[in-house]
Amino acid sequence: MVKKTMAESTITPRSEDYNRWYLDVIREAELAENSPVRGCMVIRPYGYAIWEAIQSGLDRRFKETGHQNAYFPMFIPHSFIAKETEHIEGFSPELALVTKGGGKDLDEALVVRPTSETIIGHTFARWVRSYRDLPLLINQWANVVRWEMRTRPFLRTMEFLWQEGHTAHTTEKEAMEETLQMLGVYEEMARDDAAIPVIPGEKSEIERFAGAVNTYTIEAMMGNGWALQSGTSHYLGDKFARAFEIQYTDDNNKLQYAHTTSWGVSTRFVGAVIMAHGDDQGLRLPPKMAPIQVAIVPLWRKNKEEAEVMGLANQVFQTLKNAGIRVKMDDRTHLSPGFKFNDWEMRGVPLRIEIGPRDVKQNAVVVARRHLPGKEGKIFGVAVESLGTKIPELLQEVHDGLYNQALAFREENTHTGFEDLESFTQATQDKGGFLKVHWAGTSEDETKVKEDLKFTIRCYPNADQGGPAGRCFYTGKETNRVAIFARAY
Amino acid sequence: MVKKTMAESTITPRSEDYNRWYLDVIREAELAENSPVRGCMVIRPYGYAIWEAIQSGLDRRFKETGHQNAYFPMFIPHSFIAKETEHIEGFSPELALVTKGGGKDLDEALVVRPTSETIIGHTFARWVRSYRDLPLLINQWANVVRWEMRTRPFLRTMEFLWQEGHTAHTTEKEAMEETLQMLGVYEEMARDDAAIPVIPGEKSEIERFAGAVNTYTIEAMMGNGWALQSGTSHYLGDKFARAFEIQYTDDNNKLQYAHTTSWGVSTRFVGAVIMAHGDDQGLRLPPKMAPIQVAIVPLWRKNKEEAEVMGLANQVFQTLKNAGIRVKMDDRTHLSPGFKFNDWEMRGVPLRIEIGPRDVKQNAVVVARRHLPGKEGKIFGVAVESLGTKIPELLQEVHDGLYNQALAFREENTHTGFEDLESFTQATQDKGGFLKVHWAGTSEDETKVKEDLKFTIRCYPNADQGGPAGRCFYTGKETNRVAIFARAY
């Protein structure tokens, strides 16, 4: 049995209170903390390193698909935001305004960007003249501000970090292909880097981005069965092109409006990583995103054992470092081994290597895998000379294990077969999770379901459309549109 | 003789009007442009890629020296800024204030960070308890805002991008070592990545960061002999520690104030790259920072030549790409070779490869090096099979060439031997450049020199202190303190 220690006892078990567990993990693993500015958080180094992993995985994929980074002003004239009708309606209640600068009142208030379609639309109009200037494939890494009243670390903060892609194309077809391509990039990053299975699909009308024609999303299931919108990609039609006059002359010398897209993933995704994988012991980090992939805990009691144990531990450390693995030596002397084991488990480190006097004799180590609990996760007698190849394999095993566990959990908690409101209502109370149903309701119907049951349409999953018709649980109509309802953050 | 083309003629020669040349280069090479928000610029992809190179060179070095990235709120309560007396005095005239959020007037205005000593000081006070928590070595990549009245792209903009390092230490000695270590990191990045020789030294009292005990700088000479402060590192003593109560218990269990540092490099450094190396033809980019390191221009007149020329060009392209070189194929058909040559020169691409029908016969190419003008820069008959190793060597040659040219230019334009005001005044008019002198004046004297002659103390160069005494040109006093005076951006 694992010895009880301070590190363990300060985290509320996940099963007991999911929301407290989430906040406990963020505090104890030193991912983030509240700041003196209401709704803004400080992202601590361990949390920021996860964001850096998300960034590098996305940035590489953006560049591979032909996008370039650029930077646009954070301040946007208020008149710009107002140019696209739906956009200003959607964002108006959330704006932060700079009204004074350099000691003077400003003539026109500057909006701190909540998103950059308007300032970038204005700029694109200057850059685009002919069809030869298209497509324009731009991404920006930036901070944005939305005046949120109820905030939660990573999931919803007033200021957050994100990337926002903005592209312009000659045709609707090409712009739609781009929209879906970037949704695919997000899906791939979630699967291959974060070990999170996501459901790509389209948002319903009421969940659409303010000013979009179509909004697509990747939806992930968290450990409590709730959904988290983890990235979105918007087809904007020619709405912003008309508002900002992004026009090009086509090959017949005719003036045309461009078709634009935008797409974003934010620090919210760090929340997805925490909640998709964490367990009662704390974090479980996907190896590709883990700031520390392997923690080495040397174990010795008698002073004469120290030299030989530390000798092997240092050798292992160097081997792994040379293999490009992010490895940490835990040589803290004022903490017990039990405390250290729990500490690294709580921090979600994928692999822990234990080295004691007996291991030195065998020239082998014990490796504990974070995705399997207790004894089950331990491998004894792993030969030291095999570590350079064995550890990368085990990291991949942890990645796959986390992915498969998350997928199995989602499948267990996805329910179907609801053809009337009563059975659906019952499921929202008894089962939770994702309720996959046929849906022929209106936006008003959807709003009513939300008000009554707190379940919302997360998306119309791309993979489930176009199948056989079924009965809508709400309207009773036959339809082949499939929707996933869930509680959501 | 190089054929005159549009690309060349739109840039004002550097020798004719340096400031117009600078703006012309930024426009024509598509580095940046003005935005509709006064004082804020749009950083275009080609300019942003240079910033990304600066970022990656610094970020790697920060991590190698034990620093971790984190992120702190952009909004700072006004009361925080006011806590350190000199700090608020220095920054007060430059603040942008958010006074409305979510449709309501705020009780306390939020400052858009001009720098983050205060919010980070507040946070460090929470993180530091015992000497075991120190040193605390943090860096932040962020945007900051200073309400500037006279702006110039990259050099001085209202919003700019930067990194700001913030560290806390137990002793003054250790904090001072950190301050100088990071100055050294900046010097190394400038030299090894940007091919810019810089002079590390201390700022005079009136040029000190608001709230610092000592401010150190790296000063670079631009192509017109002016100085550009290209990075600064501050020893903050315990001033911010006292203002924000960053205290630790030492190993005698006594409460002590920490000693802190801060240091930053901003998008201003892109301006340094442009101005330190550029010539009449436009940009000359140091190879490690060049978004495009090699441009391939295929040359053919008759249609039957196209296939063989493009065949070899594509082969060369693939060879270089596989070697990890950032290579661009210029297969634009509507532009003349002369235009393309000038275009890539103007954009500062370090190497241009020309491939014509004669080259195909010899299985060789022509390579033009950007740091040497015209014919002098060309190497004929470079064997195709050697390119995988030859091109990296030539990129290093361009790097060294740019560095040596910049160093020689600085040495030519550094003048000494001024022991009275008259000869110094004469030199400010006739010679310009860096005037290296002995200086025993006060802050008032320095201000007077600035008002009268527009020359300011750029730094007391570290390398020149502690030598034999000499006569101060202003006070007539003997001193061994050496200062560099120059016009500065």
Q: What is the pLDDT of residues B239-277, one digit of tens each?
A: 999 999 999 999 999 999 999 999 999 999 999 999 999
Min Cα–Cα distance to chain A from B260, Å: 18
pLDDT-based confidence at residue B377 (cuts at 50, 70, 90): very high
Q: Return the half-sphere exposure (C-beta side, CA atoms, 13 A cut-off) of residue B455.
A: 23
Residue pair A233/A112 in contact (Cβ under 8 Å)? The answer is no
- Digit-by-digit pLDDT tens for chain A (489 residues) are 333 444 445 899 999 999 999 999 999 999 999 999 989 999 999 999 999 999 999 999 999 999 999 999 999 999 999 898 888 888 989 999 999 999 999 999 999 999 999 999 999 999 999 999 999 999 999 999 999 889 999 999 999 999 999 999 999 999 999 999 999 999 999 999 999 999 999 999 999 999 999 999 999 999 999 999 999 999 999 999 999 999 999 999 999 999 999 999 999 999 999 999 999 999 999 999 999 999 999 999 888 899 999 999 999 999 999 999 999 999 998 899 999 999 999 999 999 999 999 999 999 999 999 999 999 999 999 999 999 999 999 999 999 999 999 999 999 999 999 999 999 999 999 999 999 999 999 999 999 999 999 999 999 999 999 999 999 999 999 999 999 999 999
Topology classification of domain A294-404: Rossmann fold (3.40.50)
Q: Which residues, other chains included, contact B152 with Cβ-Cβ below 8 Å and sequence gap of 6+?
A: B22, B271, B489
Closest among A118, A134, A235 to A183, alpha carbons compared: A235
What CATH class does B414-486 carry? alpha beta
Q: Find residue B200's DSSP bridge partners.
A: B218
Distances (CA, A) of A364 to A297, A358, A367, A394, A395: 14, 9, 10, 16, 18
Residue pair A205/A86 in contact (Cβ under 8 Å)? The answer is no
Q: What whole-number distance in Å separates Cα of residue B478 and Cα of residue B480?
A: 7
Q: What whole-number distance in Å separates Cα of residue B365 and Cα of residue B355?
A: 5
Assigned CATH for B294-401: 3.40.50.800
B chain contacts of residue A147, beta-carbon cutoff 8 Å? 101-103
B chain contacts of residue A73, beta-carbon cutoff 8 Å? 35, 37, 40-42, 159
Q: What whole-number distance in Å separates Cα of residue A402 and Cα of residue A370?
A: 9
Mutate one of A74, A113, A126 to test the B interface: name it (highest B CB count within 10 A): A74
Q: What whole-number distance in Å separates Cα of residue B10 and Cα of residue B29?
A: 11
Question: What are the helix and strand counts (H, E) for chain B?
Answer: 15, 27
Q: Does domain B6-277 have CATH number 3.30.930.10?
A: yes
Measured over the CA atoms of residue A59, residue A63, residue A67 and residue A68, the dihedral's sign is: positive
DSSP assigned state of A434: E
Measured between its terminal Cα atoms, the distance across chain B in Å is 36
Q: What whole-number distance in Å separates Cα of residue B332 and Cα of residue B3?
A: 18
Q: Is some CB atom of chain A closer than 8 A to the CB atom of B89? A: no
Task: Using alpha carbons only, give the angle A179, A182, A186 rounded to the nearest 5 degrees.
Answer: 135
Q: What whole-number distance in Å separates Cα of residue A123 and Cα of residue A131?
A: 16
- Read off φ and ψ for residue B45, nearest 5 degrees: -55, -40
Residue pair B282/B344 in contact (Cβ under 8 Å)? The answer is no
Q: What whole-number distance in Å separates Cα of residue A457 and Cα of residue A450?
A: 9
- pLDDT value of position A5: 46
- B109 and A123 within 8 Å at the Cβ level: the answer is no
Domain ranges of chain A: 6-277, 294-404, 414-486
| Candidate from B75, B123, B158 with C-beta closest to A42 | B123
Whether the predicted pLDDT of B333 surpasses 70: yes
Measured between its terminal Cα atoms, the distance across chain A in Å is 35
Min Cα–Cα distance to chain A from B270, Å: 14
- Classify B460 as helix, strand or coil: strand
- pLDDT value of position A9: 58
Min Cα–Cα distance to chain B from A247, Å: 19
B chain contacts of residue A71, beta-carbon cutoff 8 Å? 42-43, 48, 51, 161
Nearest CA in chain A to B110: A37
- B37 and A110 within 8 Å at the Cβ level: the answer is yes
Q: Is some CB atom of chain A closer than 8 A to the CB atom of B443? A: no
B chain contacts of residue A75, beta-carbon cutoff 8 Å? 37, 40, 96, 145, 158-159
Q: What whole-number distance in Å separates Cα of residue A344 and Cα of residue A351?
A: 9
Counting one residue from A and one from B, how many pairs have CB atoms under 8 Å apart? Answer: 156
ipTM associated with this complex? 0.96
pLDDT-based confidence at residue B84 (cuts at 50, 70, 90): confident
Q: What whole-number distance in Å separates Cα of residue A402 and Cα of residue A79?
A: 47
B chain contacts of residue A31, beta-carbon cutoff 8 Å? none
Residue pair B214/B207 in contact (Cβ under 8 Å)? The answer is no
Q: Is some CB atom of chain B closer than 8 A to the CB atom of A109? A: yes
A chain contacts of residue B244, beta-carbon cutoff 8 Å? none
- A101 and B95 within 8 Å at the Cβ level: the answer is yes
Q: What whole-number distance in Å separates Cα of residue A339 and Cα of residue B409?
A: 61
Q: Find residue A6's DSSP bridge partners.
A: none
Tell me the two tokens of residue A345.
């488990």
- B119 and A35 within 8 Å at the Cβ level: the answer is yes
Q: Is some CB atom of chain A closer than 8 A to the CB atom of B383? A: no
Q: What whole-number distance in Å separates Cα of residue B355 and Cα of residue B358?
A: 8
Mutate one of A97, A161, A162, A163 to test the B interface: name it (highest B CB count within 10 A): A97
| Candidate from A37, A44, A45 with C-beta closest to B73 | A37
- B98 and A98 within 8 Å at the Cβ level: the answer is yes
- pLDDT value of position B7: 45
Mutate one of B62, B74, B333 to test the A interface: name it (highest A CB count within 10 A): B74
Residue pair A489/A228 in contact (Cβ under 8 Å)? The answer is yes
Residue pair B484/B461 in contact (Cβ under 8 Å)? The answer is yes
Distances (CA, A) of A380 to A91, A296, A362, A371, B354: 56, 14, 11, 16, 61
DSSP assigned state of A331: -
Min Cα–Cα distance to chain A from B122, Å: 9
Min Cα–Cα distance to chain A from B40, Å: 6
Q: Is some CB atom of chain B closer than 8 A to the CB atom of A102? A: yes
Whether the predicted pLDDT of B198 surpasses 70: yes
Whether the predicted pLDDT of B68 surpasses 60: yes
Q: Which residues, other chains included, contact B456 with Cβ-Cβ below 8 Å and sequence gap of 6+?
A: B207, B446, B449, B450, B485, B486, B487, B488
B chain contacts of residue A332, beta-carbon cutoff 8 Å? none
Encode pLDDT of B417-448 as tens digits. Answer: 999 999 999 999 999 999 999 999 999 999 99
Nearest CA in chain A to B161: A71
Q: How many CB atoms lie within 10 A of CB A182?
A: 29
Distances (CA, A) of B466 to A414, B176, B479: 76, 19, 10
Mutate one of A71, A79, A98 to test the B interface: name it (highest B CB count within 10 A): A71
Mutate one of A30, A37, A143 to test the B interface: name it (highest B CB count within 10 A): A37
Asked if domains A6-277 and A414-486 share a fold, the reply is no
Q: What whole-number distance in Å separates Cα of residue A195 and Cα of residue A400?
A: 7
pTM of the model: 0.96
Alpha helix (H) residue ranges in A193-323: 239-244, 268-277, 303-322
Q: Is some CB atom of chain B closer than 8 A to the CB atom of A106? A: no
Distances (CA, A) of A210 to A146, A207, A214: 14, 9, 10
Min Cα–Cα distance to chain B from A21, Å: 22
**Is-cis flag, bond preceding B135, omega within 30?**
yes
Matching residue, tokens 């919210």: A268
